[in-house]
Amino acid sequence: MQHVLSIPFENLSIHCGEVITMDLESIYDKIVVGRRGGWCFENNLLFSWVLKEMGYSVTMLGSRVFNSSKGEFSPMESHLINKVIIDGTAYIADVSFGTSGQIWHPLELISGKDQPQLPGVFGLTEESGTWILVKTGREPLCHDESFAKKLQGKQSKQIYSFTLTPRSVDHFLETSQLLQTSPESLYTNKSICSLQTLTGFSALVGWMYFEVIYNYQDGVDLFEFKNIPSDEIDNVFRAESWLSGAEDWSERASLAQTGRPCEPQSHISVTWQAAADGGAL
C-alpha cells in the first residue's frame, strides 16, 4: 500500500519530450532518485525487482485492459502486473493502474472470492485459464451537476483480464513504444498524473483536477472535479506534493521538441469514464 501512496501513476514524460524506457537502471533513476512517478511498464517493473531483492518469487504477467466505451478488452497486453508468492499463496500485485481501478493491497489469486478494500470490493474470476479483475464500487456523490451526469451509479466494473503465462520485459517493448508514440494512443493525447491518498485519490487529467474520497458517507464515494487554468498547473503539483521532480512541467511540455506538437492539453475533452479507463498503464 505504501507504494501507491508514495509513487504516482503518470505519463508526463510523453508530454515533456522524454522517452520512456524499460531499462531498470533508468527507471530507478527516474522514480527513486528523481522522485518522479511512471506508468505500469515502469512502476510494476521496478516493483517486481524490489520484491525479488526481498526474496519473493515473482512472475511478470501481461493483462488486457477493459475499454468501457467499446465494451471489450484491449486486443493487446498493454498493462504489466506481477504474480507474487507469499507464504506459499499466490497473489496479484499491481501498484500502477491508477485512479479508481487501483488496488491497494495484493489480491489473492483465487476465483470467486470477494476481497474488500477501501476503494471497493475487488474480485478475480477464472474461466478456461483467463482471469478477470472486477471492482464493485459505491454510489457516487458529486455536488456539481455538470460533472455528476458523467458518473455512473454503484456497479461492478471489469478492470482487466490476464492469463498466468509468464512474460519478460521484451514482451512489452513494442507495446510501450506504440502507446507513447501513436497519435491514437490515449497517452499521447492526454497528460495524466494520479496518486492514491489515505482516503481516496487525486488526479490531474489534462487540465481537469479530480479528488475522490472513498466511503465519504456510508456506501457513498465523494467526487469533486474542477478545471485548472493552464498557468496554475504547476501550483497544483507543488500543493499536492505529487512530484518533487516535475516542477514547471507544463513549461517543459510546451517547449519539448518531440517531432510532433506538444501543446497544453486544455483542448482535450475529458470525461470521468475516460479518466478511469486511462489509468491503465
Query: Catalytic residue positions?
Result: 40, 79, 94
State phi, psi for 270 to the nearest 5 degrees. -110, 130
- SS3 annotation, 138-203: CEEECCCHHHHCCCCCCCEEEEEEECCCCCCHHHHHHHHHHHCCCCCCHHHHCCEEEEECCCEEEE
DSSP state of 243: -
Reduce the DSSP state of residue 214 to 3 states and report it.
strand
Instruction: Tell which residue, 104, 124, 99, has the closest CA to residue 114.
Output: 124
Length of the chain: 281
CA distance 111 to 105: 17
Distance from C-alpha of 197 to C-alpha of 206, rounded to nearest angstrom? 20
Contact 109, 116 (CB under 8 A): no
